A and B are shown apart, each in its own frame.
Chain A
Amino acid sequence: MISRIARKEFTEMLRDGRFRLLAGMVLVISILALAAGWKNYAELSRQHAAAQQETRDQWLKQDKKNPHSAAHYGVYAFKPKSQLAMVDTGVDPYMGVAVWLEAHKQNEFKFRPAQDRTAVQRFGELTGAEVLQVLLPLFIVLMTFAAFAGEREQGTLRQLLSIGVSRRSLALGKALGVAMALGLILIPSTVLAIVALALSSENGLVSGDPARGVLLGLIYLLYFAVMIALSLAVSARARSSRLALVALLSFWFANSLVASRAASDIAGWLFPTPSAVEFQKAMEADLNNEAEMRERLDRRRAELLRQYNVDTIEALPIAFSGISMQEGEEHGNEVFDRHYGRLFDRYEQQNRVYQLGGVLAPLLSVRALSMGLAGTDFDQHRHFATAAESYRRDIQRVMNGDIAANQKRGQVYLADHTLWEQVPDFEYTAPSTTWVLTNHTISLSILVFWGVAASFFMLRSAVAAKVD
């Protein structure tokens, strides 16, 4: 019965010229967005791989020089792009994907394309995620607003209900019909995306966890189900199809255009972050805390003198300059951990507010989950930043340790490639899917709740729908 209703709804849509035009346009836009995302992904991942190789080569091919010079010479670390990032670029354009690892400093990330754009351009960027999150729900609204209200206005609802069809079956059949129409757009797009990846990727079709892609797909299907159920419920309850359309467009507008902005503003108001200048100033003040530095150095010196049982640092079998530089690093690391830790914790608190906003606007939950599964959310940015920073600290430890061990008093000490090779290549392993999902339990629960609530709302509304 349900499939029979769905088939009829689908046939009717296919015969409607307005539907064909609309679906055709949405399909073209989806493919354009995918193509742009794919091009972006293919280019960036190629550039990153090349740059990562180049920075490693440059490091290894350094001339003989003092290890501290090498530490200043530094290396770049690039956040690897997951294939799903071609659908959802997430925070990458805002947070950046590359960081320069050098002596004394935990740097901010570089290459943030969003920095170079005007607000209007930011808004206009067409990504797969935008199509899935904003355009397709609009398509769903336009497909469903008249589902019940329109039939009521035309009088076919009377005819239909006089036949003795159950209202629940009717609602489910209509929902399935819209889902079939949506499939006309989703299936070709998904097939194209998979083919594009298969043809372009050197790492094979699926690099990383295939479960991520499947989950991402399921999240979006659940979101579409929520939108379809809500639209049908409103259509069943609204007095006219015109009112249903107005109500649904208002919800769509609030959900997709207002909610995200409002949630960010509220999160920023509840958990304010310092401006970049304030942040740098406060951090530099702590870094330049001479008293603390001196105390730390004095302590270390006393420790070493006791350990080697000598009276002066000149009498130490190791070069104290290496030790003191490492102490400087350790001091800096504590300051960085404190300041970046506080800043990143703030971001995470803001994120939590944003996720909770999903209770009012389901798109917020979807957005968080989508970025998470695409590997482009803030948590994974932080995960990478932490790994890169830890690599930077390793380099400093190796360089300073080498100075301490090998530098002789009154001599110029130069290290060569054997030292450079002691620093392993930067290997980054992205967090597991489970790790991602654990971070997003709030969003996931909220979205599932929406799914259940919207289904109930749809069925109840269908039962309560007036005949005329």
Chain B
Amino acid sequence: MSASLRAAVVPGALALLPAYAAATDPFPELRLAVRAAVDWLGPAPEILGDAQGRRVGQALVEARGGFETVVEEGAPRPSRNHLVVANGTARRSRTSPGPYDERARPFDDQLGKALLAPDPDALRVLDQGLATELWASTAALAALADLLTGEETVTVDYDAAPYGVQYWVVRYER
């Protein structure tokens, strides 16, 4: 039997960092979902992502403050929890940060299916070269694939592209 697992995917949007806080939140629903996912992981999760993504993940964990994880009576205790910082493309539309590329939406659709299934094999063979071309942040997804068996309970807390960048907040539990 596989070890228990809690993992969450959150985007690496820099606007999530306290250093870039504006007077109005550009994406309050995303932030709520991200905070809830980080809280759900509990203290000191392993943070997976590229260098910038890990910095965002670290800031999210630090911003959580002094909460305590509540473990329900009889519930299996996770062996190690993982915060995976990754997101889809940033060239999906004319208002995306990057110049429009017609391959972006199909890429996001395919990636979304793999994340939500979950389909570890599809995540493992993701075309990282194309991801780079489309300004997607997917470096950590191979490591996520190694954590998943495909049998996890998946909860999708956020799936949208509010500023032309595809974000997901997804939680996996096993």
Pair from one complex = no
Interface residues, chain B, with chain A CB atoms under 8 Å away = none
